[in-house]
Amino acid sequence: MQRLVPSPRTVHWGYFDASLAPIAHVRDGEILRLRSVSGYPDDPVPSGWIPPEIPAIFAEVKERGPGAHILTGPIFVENARPGNVLQVDIVSISLGASYGFNLMRPLRGLFPDAVSSADKSIIPLDVENERAEVLPGVWMPTRPFFGILGVAPPQGWGRIDSIAPRRHGGNLDNKELVAGTTLFLPIWVEGALFSAGDGHAAQGDGEVDVTAIETCLEAEFRLRVLDQFETALPIALTPRHLITMGFHEDLDRAAEIAVASFIQFMERYCRTTWRDASRLASIAGDLRVTQVVNGIKGIHLMLERTILDQIGCHAPWF
């Protein structure tokens, strides 16, 4: 099993670009272990808590932004072709540091005028017991996931920032993408060029101040290429739910896109009519706000898989 660790040679900082050279190659269906980092060299924590990769990355990586995310990748997947779909099985995720942080900044978040200066809160993590001290003496369970899981965007887009979620995935900030779930991403370039980062120990739907508990994560991913499945937008599968996603500057439009993606899936792979799929979305689908702070906002629709099992869907992974 390959293990990819962050370094000045294995990360890209704040952007996606189809012209990036891959840092590794994996076989179709191979499991790889990947580490992501979040943090700053001057974080006010005991010196042993600072992620060991951070000082070199900050000192040596000069090509940065416009986003703030340090992404491990990209990874070339054999047999991945434009028009295929990359199946990302999230086999495991674990905390990779003894702390995380939440950062408020002026002109960002749901209340952009309420913060006059940057305010970073250090959040201790009890890695062994999987919990976080979110306020003094107040502990909550962690539920780690990657805010960013994405492939290279279409070649014609050029370099894009890492802040907004789009058709290539990217900054999805979907807290349902924990260990045991699967993400499906449309492939736009040869090899897919998969990257991951923006590790979160926990996050609420909305991520209203722009950050969650930002931290380092260790994960195992199985990357598979599907050539008998089509989707124009990211779709996810949990042990209990099918999830479709919509992204737009306007939340109403994001909701329309998430529901339209669900209806298209049902028509194509479950052989339902548009009307029946729309009824299911209204009766049994839950619309949730993914995030409201990344310029392009997110809505996702969740439907219980037991309903799909009764219908008899024919996607390759059912």
Residue 318 — pLDDT band, cuts 50, 70, 90? low
> How large is the average pLDDT for residues 304-312?
94
> How large is the average pLDDT for residues 76-92?
98
> How large is the average pLDDT for residues 70-99?
98
Residue that the structure tokens 């009824």 belong to: 279
- H/E element holding 124? strand 119-126
DSSP assignment of 115-176, as one string? -SS-EEEEEEEETTTTEEEEETTEEEE---EEEEEE-PPPGGG-SEESSSEETTEEE---TT
DSSP assignment of 73-100, as one string? EEEEETT--TT-EEEEEEEEEEE-SSEE
> How large is the average pLDDT for residues 66-92?
97
- pLDDT one-digit tens code per residue, 226-238: 999 999 999 999 9
CB 179 within 8 A of CB 90: yes
Paired with 303 in beta bridges are 242
pLDDT attached to residue 96: 98
Predicted TM-score (pTM) of the model is: 0.96
Q: What topology does CATH give the domain 2-226?
A: Jelly Rolls (2.60.120)
pLDDT attached to residue 315: 77
Arithmetic mean of pLDDT over the chain:
96
CB 152 within 8 A of CB 18: yes
Q: Output 313 or 154, whichever has higher pLDDT.
A: 154
Residue 140 pLDDT > 90: yes
> How large is the average pLDDT for residues 141-156?
98
pLDDT attached to residue 157: 97
Domains of the chain: which residue ranges? 2-226, 240-311
Q: Residue 205 in 3-state DSSP?
A: coil
- pLDDT one-digit tens code per residue, 180-204: 999 999 999 999 999 999 999 999 9
- pLDDT one-digit tens code per residue, 255-295: 999 999 999 999 999 999 999 999 999 999 999 999 999 99
Nearest in space to 258 (alpha carbons), one of 236, 240, 229: 236
Tell me which of 1.10.630.10, 1.10.1740.10, 3.10.28.20, 3.10.180.10 is the CATH number of domain 240-311. 3.10.28.20
CA distances from 290 to 53, 154, 311 (A): 30, 24, 27
As a whole number of angstroms, the distance between CA 254 and CA 298 comes to 6
CB 235 within 8 A of CB 244: yes
pLDDT attached to residue 254: 98
Helix axes 274-284, 251-269, angle to 10 degrees: 120
